[in-house]
């Protein structure tokens, strides 16, 4: 990271769209919205401009004063580093003033830009210039949406995807971790030496990176991309409702793409039928605008059926991604239990408006051990969840921005609507913080956060709760244990963890008292006796609200 030098510089006058009212043209101010919010930023911008200040719409190298509220100097610096792609732009960071909002408000009050004093300056910690500390766990490192090493991360992610198709989970995770570490680097990797001391880079990934750095491409990646199997698996798993197992079976039977499924009369379940019908649309990226439009619809539905209900956009869009493959939502109500029975009502409301093309709900399964075998795989949570496809009316802005895949959709050219995959999840308020954290992703972040919880903190984190893994007896003392097969207790730690989560969620669901008092997090606050570890987690959960920096 570029160390900041605090020197005063004179900047050339720059023409500016608000030039006619600008009294102080050589002080170009940029206000960071992060943690301040759009409305306060807009208020300060207008006020400042009315007093003749030059306040820029977007960050650029001509900016001389960056002001922010409630951000540390390091956070602001990281934000700027993220905004400035080019090396020569980076150089200009040296002459920037990074200031607390007090400088701007005092300047506005004085009706003239004040000389910067030490108390206005945001403190930044000195960074070792030679190397960047990149932490082992994805949950500990920044992973900006726009980073500097796409030329390396994309090939590694292709190999990860291929490993996923081959059901080689270890290799999949290894490539994803390598990609994630490279995303955290503040500059372009040019030589192998640039990777010295970085964690999570296995031999295989290093070989691939070396090839790309030396030859401009990796033979293995090129071969993979072009392989018939990779392409077929991508096309077949691209059908909503088709997983790696079915795709692999079909591939071995000689099928290559979704139209082969129809042609050969494969037996498809309801989900897969919808997947084929809307194949085109569902493989078109969903834009942020489209996600917001759907958010408005779902918000209306949710509030109509239960006043006071809370809707949160989760998934990739919550991390600040511009596009996604679906739109994820979490629904809750501040009154514990009020959320029960909401899902069917929300769906009915949406259906009555003609907004749903497909829906399938899995009810919550906190109590599943009472009525049969486990239905959800271990990595999935137990909330009531609806996999749906929305019918989204196309506005001019939204349509035609992205090209569709091979012609499988029943839609003709210039449709007035498109299909969008939407996930709705309902959570009780007591688990809402964990559910929000879990559903924000990314998958690797969540995985590593849990790994970190277990390995470094001896805690167990799920989408439902956080608790102390060591306090086994407390868990066992809860009454619901007898609903779970004894064998689950005797097997490995992972299974035991799953068991504990289940016990805890049963307790929460049935409102039985759970003896690890502080394992339960009510809403976003913890009881006073919560341990420091839980506080640490809570701060993770809190920061999850504004996490635009997590890995895409």
What residues act catalytically? 326, 328, 423
CB of 240 to Mn ion, least distance (A): 13
CB of 441 to Mn ion, least distance (A): 7
Question: Do residues 67 and 32 touch, judged by C-beta distance below 8 A?
Answer: yes
Binding flag, residue 328, Mn ion (CB under 5 A): yes
CB closest to Mn ion, residue no: 315
Binding flag, residue 438, Mn ion (CB under 5 A): no
Burial 4-19 (b: 16+ CB within 10 A, else e): beeeeeeeeebebebe
Q: Which does 77 bind (CB under 5 to 8 A by kind): Mn ion, ligand 8GT, none?
A: none
78: helix, strand or coil: helix
Stretch that binds Mn ion, among 20-28, 256-264, 321-329, 532-540 (CB under 5 A): 321-329
Question: Do residues 236 and 275 touch, judged by C-beta distance below 8 A?
Answer: no
Identify residues 469-528 at the interface with Mn ion (CB under 5 A): none
Q: Which is nearer to ligand 8GT, 137 or 439 (by Cβ)?
A: 439
- The single residue among 326, 381, 384, 468 that binds Mn ion, judged by CB under 5 A, is 326
CB of 91 to Mn ion, least distance (A): 38
Q: Which is nearer to ligand 8GT, 261 or 286 (by Cβ)?
A: 286
Stretch that binds Mn ion, among 171-179, 324-332, 463-471, 519-527 (CB under 5 A): 324-332
Stretch that binds Mn ion, among 45-53, 260-268, 309-317, 491-499 (CB under 5 A): 309-317
Stretch that binds Mn ion, among 81-89, 205-213, 325-333, 502-510 (CB under 5 A): 325-333
Helix (H) or strand (E) holding 289: helix 288-305
Q: Which is nearer to ligand 8GT, 388 or 442 (by Cβ)?
A: 442
Q: Which does 463 bind (CB under 5 to 8 A by kind): ligand 8GT, Mn ion, none?
A: ligand 8GT
The number of angstroms, rounded, from the C-alpha of 140 to the middle of its chain's C-alpha atoms is 15
CB closest to ligand 8GT, residue no: 441
Question: Do residues 388 and 358 touch, judged by C-beta distance below 8 A?
Answer: yes
Write each residue from 135 to 174 as x if it is in contact with Mn ion (CB under 5 A), else as -, in one continuous string.
----------------------------------------
140: helix, strand or coil: helix
CB of 443 to ligand 8GT, least distance (A): 4
Q: Which is nearer to ligand 8GT, 101 or 389 (by Cβ)?
A: 389
CB of 386 to Mn ion, least distance (A): 14
388: helix, strand or coil: strand
Contacts 24+ apart (CB under 8 A), 152-156: 152/179, 152/182, 152/189, 152/209, 152/212, 153/179, 153/182, 153/183, 155/208, 155/212, 155/217, 155/218, 155/221, 156/182, 156/205, 156/208, 156/209
Question: Do residues 51 and 83 touch, judged by C-beta distance below 8 A?
Answer: no
Q: Which is nearer to Mn ion, 100 or 328 (by Cβ)?
A: 328
Report the distance separating Cα 95 and Cα 118, nearest Å: 15
DSSP E strand boundaries for 160-317: 286-287, 310-313
Q: Which is nearer to ligand 8GT, 65 or 319 (by Cβ)?
A: 319
Pairing of strands 97-100, 65-68: parallel
Q: Which is nearer to Mn ion, 136 or 402 (by Cβ)?
A: 402
Stretch that binds Mn ion, among 104-112, 317-325, 368-376, 494-502 (CB under 5 A): 317-325
Report the distance separating Cα 64 and Cα 10, nearest Å: 9
Q: Which does 75 bind (CB under 5 to 8 A by kind): Mn ion, ligand 8GT, none?
A: none
Largest CA distance in the chain: 78
Identify any residues that bridge with 91 across adjacent strands, giving them in sequence order.
Answer: none
494: helix, strand or coil: helix
Contacting positions for ligand 8GT (CB under 6 A)? 315-316, 321, 324-326, 328, 380-381, 438-439, 441-443, 446, 463
Report the distance separating Cα 457 and Cα 143, nearest Å: 22
Q: Contact residues for Mn ion (CB under 5 A)?
A: 315-316, 324, 326, 328
């Amino acid at each position: 990271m570029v160390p900041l030098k605090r020197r005063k510089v004179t900047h050339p006058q720059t023409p500016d769209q608000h030039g006619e009212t600008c009294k102080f043209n050589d002080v170009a101010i940029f206000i960071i919205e992060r943690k301040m919010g759009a409305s306060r930023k807009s208020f300060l911008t207008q006020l400042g401009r009315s007093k003749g200040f030059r306040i820029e719409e977007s960050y650029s190298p001509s900016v001389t004063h960056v002001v922010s509220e409630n951000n540390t100097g390091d956070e602001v610096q990281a934000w700027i580093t993220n905004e400035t792609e080019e090396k020569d732009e980076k150089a200009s960071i040296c002459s920037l003033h990074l200031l607390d909002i007090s400088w701007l408000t005092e300047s506005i009050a004085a009706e003239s830009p004040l000389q910067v004093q030490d108390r206005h300056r945001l403190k930044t910690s000195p960074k070792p210039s030679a190397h960047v500390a990149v932490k082992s766990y994805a949950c500990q490192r920044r992973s900006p949406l726009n980073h500097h090493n796409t030329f390396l991360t994309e090939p590694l992610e292709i190999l990860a995807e291929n490993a996923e198709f081959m059901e080689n989970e270890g290799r999949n995770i290894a490539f994803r971790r390598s990609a994630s570490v490279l995303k955290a680097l503040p500059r372009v990797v040019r030589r192998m030496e640039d990777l010295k001391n970085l964690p999570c880079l296995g031999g295989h990934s290093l070989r691939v990176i070396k090839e790309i750095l030396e030859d401009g491409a990796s033979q293995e990646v090129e071969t993979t991309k072009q392989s018939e199997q990779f392409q077929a698996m991508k096309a077949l798993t691209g059908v909503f409702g088709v997983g790696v197992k079915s795709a692999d079976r079909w591939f071995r039977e000689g099928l290559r793409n979704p139209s082969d499924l129809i042609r050969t009369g494969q037996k498809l379940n309801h989900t897969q039928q919808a997947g084929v019908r809307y194949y085109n649309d569902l493989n078109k990226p969903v834009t942020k605008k489209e996600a917001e439009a759907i958010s408005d619809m779902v918000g209306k539905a949710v509030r109509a059926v239960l006043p006071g209900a809370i809707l949160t956009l989760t998934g990739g869009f919550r991390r600040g991604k511009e596009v996604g493959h679906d739109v994820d939502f979490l629904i809750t109500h501040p009154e514990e239990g009020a959320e029960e029975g909401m899902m069917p009502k929300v769906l009915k409301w949406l259906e009555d408006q003609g907004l749903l093309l497909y829906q399938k709900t899995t009810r919550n399964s906190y109590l599943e051990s009472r009525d049969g075998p486990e239905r959800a795989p271990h990595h999935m949570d137990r909330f009531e969840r609806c996999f749906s496809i929305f019918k989204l009316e196309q506005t001019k802005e939204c349509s035609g921005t992205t090209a569709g895949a091979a012609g499988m959709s029943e839609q003709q050219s210039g449709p007035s609507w498109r299909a969008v995959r939407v996930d709705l999840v309902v959570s009780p308020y007591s688990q809402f913080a964990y559910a929000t954290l879990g559903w924000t992703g990314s998958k690797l972040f969540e995985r590593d956060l849990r790994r970190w919880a277990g390995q470094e903190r001896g805690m167990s984190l799920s989408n439902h709760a956080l608790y102390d893994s060591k306090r086994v007896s407390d868990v066992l003392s809860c009454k619901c244990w007898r609903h779970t097969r004894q064998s689950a207790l005797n097997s490995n730690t992972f299974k035991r963890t799953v068991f504990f989560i289940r016990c805890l969620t049963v307790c929460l669901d049935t409102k039985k008292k759970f003896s690890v008092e502080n394992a339960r997090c009510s809403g976003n606050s913890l009881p006073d006796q919560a341990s420091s570890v839980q506080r640490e987690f809570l701060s993770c959960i809190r920061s999850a609200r504004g996490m635009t920096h997590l890995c895409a």
